[in-house]
Structure 1
Amino acid sequence: MNLNLRNAIIQNVTGNSQEQLEDTIVDAIQNGEEKMLPGLGVLFEVIWQNSSDQEKQEMIHALESGLKK
């Protein structure tokens, strides 16, 4: 992914409230457009980088469970 795109996405949501961040995520998922995937990837990267080892394991478990459905 182009570093400029990553920075643009981060700048676009920096300072947003929790409600705004949630709306961004929900809208991107419900919209289902491929062009939203890079943005969700960047947001996940921020979450991952700011999570404890236990939180990371919980995310991996949730991902694994979701992929078994």
Structure 2
Amino acid sequence: MDLDIRKAILHNIKENSRDQLEATIVDAIQDGEEKLLPGLGFLFEIIWKQSDEDEKLEMLDALEKGVKQATV
């Protein structure tokens, strides 16, 4: 089966409000299910592409800090 995950995710969230988008992210993280990781990755891709260089540096700083503190 050929499934375009990006298209499916975008179709499902395109009309969502800010609150609904936040709930989608929070729910995916709290559930901790591996199958949700591609969706979160695609959401990050959208954010990254819309960010300017300063915002990207800020995200990278937050990511670096988070990775150093993370436990699995």
* TM-score, normalised by the number of residues in structure 1: 0.93
What's the RMSD between the two structures over aligned residues?
A: 1.3
What per-residue deviation string (whole Å, max 9, x for no partner) do you get for residues 18-67 of structure 1? 00000000000000000000100010000000011100000000000011
* TM-score, normalised by the number of residues in structure 2: 0.89
Moved over 2 A (4+): none
Deviation at 1:4? Answer: 1.2
Aligned residues: 68
Q: Name the larger-Rg structure.
A: 2
Change (3 A) 1:59 1:11: same
Gaps of 5+ in 2: none
Among the aligned pairs, what percent are the same residue? 60
Whose RCO is larger (CA < 8 A, sep 6+)? Answer: 1
